[in-house]
Amino acid sequence: MDNQPLILITNDDGVTAPGIAALVQSMKSLGHVVVVAPDSPQSGMGHAITMNHPLRMERVHVFDKVEAYQCSGTPADCVKLAVDKVMHRRPDLLVSGINHGSNSSINVIYSGTMSAAVEGAIEGISAIGFSLNDYKFDADFEASSYYARLIASRVLEKGLPTGTLLNVNIPALGLPDIKGLKICRQAKAKWIEEFDERTDPHNRKYYWLTGKFVNNDHGEDTDEWALANGFVSVVPTQFDLTAHHAIATLNTWEF
């Protein structure tokens, strides 16, 4: 090992996804890179961890001259395994992604990409999740790679405030068309579920999750506003879920 920053990379689309290849490439110039990522897609896994069955992990040769492992678990499992069994010291930075699809606003809750970054932050590692607002397998990661490298280098230089990580989303635009980046808050948006009910050949019902994204938050300080207006959104994110402002209200209740 040398004196370079140690950078752990993971994702939720799996170790063979183009997005993680772009992220590995963009981090190589910033430090010593190690990859521990799921062996299959894990989108929508939220902060799931695997307790009831064992995990597999094996070395793979996917990236040129980069130590990489695939793991049978969730993104959060990958981070836990990496920290305990792979890394020889605490990483200086954890980056997750680049996700194929947005993790802005309420999507942070459902996102495997972000759960990996949250897990890193819980472990005390500076952590960033990157997502490109484009679901296509062959999406263009050029602008995302540029911003990933820019933001990661600032985080390595400055460190993040205690207990925070970054949720970075990149609009599906070419690099010259992106207007810059904005520090934002998570928009108050949500999904309206519309399950698609079908009947199988054995006459039993089944349901596909589908939904409509609804943003009723018109604040110009939100991630949704930034993305809709051509900016990269950067939301400082925390894992203290306490609604501190509600404590005083609840203390007025009689029990």
Residue placing its CB nearer to a second copy in the complex, 3 or 233? 233
135 lies in the binding site for a second copy (CB under 8 A): no
Nearest distance from C-beta of residue 53 to a second copy, angstroms: 9
41's tokens: 């897609």
* Residue ranges in 8-47 that form contacts with a second copy under rule CB under 8 A: 41, 43-47
Asked whether the beta carbons of 75 and 112 are under 8 A apart, the reply is yes
- Distance, in Å, from the CA atom of 178 to the CA atom of 229, rounded to the nearest integer, reads 9
Among 55, 60, 62, 172, which residue interacts with a second copy (rule: CB under 8 A)?
55
Q: How many residues does the chain have?
A: 255
Among 63, 110, 146, 213, which residue interacts with a second copy (rule: CB under 8 A)?
110
Residue (of 72, 102, 82) closest to 8 by Cα position: 82
173 lies in the binding site for a second copy (CB under 8 A): no
> Phi and psi of 62, rounded to 5°?
-110, -35
214 lies in the binding site for a second copy (CB under 8 A): no
- Distance, in Å, from the CA atom of 4 to the CA atom of 113, rounded to the nearest integer, reads 25
* Residue ranges in 220-249 that form contacts with a second copy under rule CB under 8 A: 234-247, 249
Cα–Cα–Cα angle for 219, 225, 230, rounded to 5 degrees: 155
Nearest distance from C-beta of residue 64 to a second copy, angstroms: 26
Q: What contacts 205, CB < 8 A, 6 or more positions away?
A: 197, 198, 199
Residue placing its CB nearer to a second copy in the complex, 61 or 244? 244
Among 29, 64, 161, 199, which residue interacts with a second copy (rule: CB under 8 A)?
161
Number of residues that bind a second copy (CB under 8 A): 78
> Phi and psi of 245, rounded to 5°?
-65, -20
- Distance, in Å, from the CA atom of 192 to the CA atom of 215, rounded to the nearest integer, reads 10
163 lies in the binding site for a second copy (CB under 8 A): yes
- Distance, in Å, from the CA atom of 81 to the CA atom of 222, rounded to the nearest integer, reads 34
Q: What contacts 121, CB < 8 A, 6 or more positions away?
A: 127, 160, 163, 164, 165, 239
115 lies in the binding site for a second copy (CB under 8 A): yes
Binding window for a second copy (CB under 8 A); candidates: 18-26, 30-38, 133-141, 153-161:
153-161
76 lies in the binding site for a second copy (CB under 8 A): yes
Among 209, 214, 219, 230, which residue interacts with a second copy (rule: CB under 8 A)?
209
208 lies in the binding site for a second copy (CB under 8 A): yes
Residue placing its CB nearer to a second copy in the complex, 159 or 174? 159
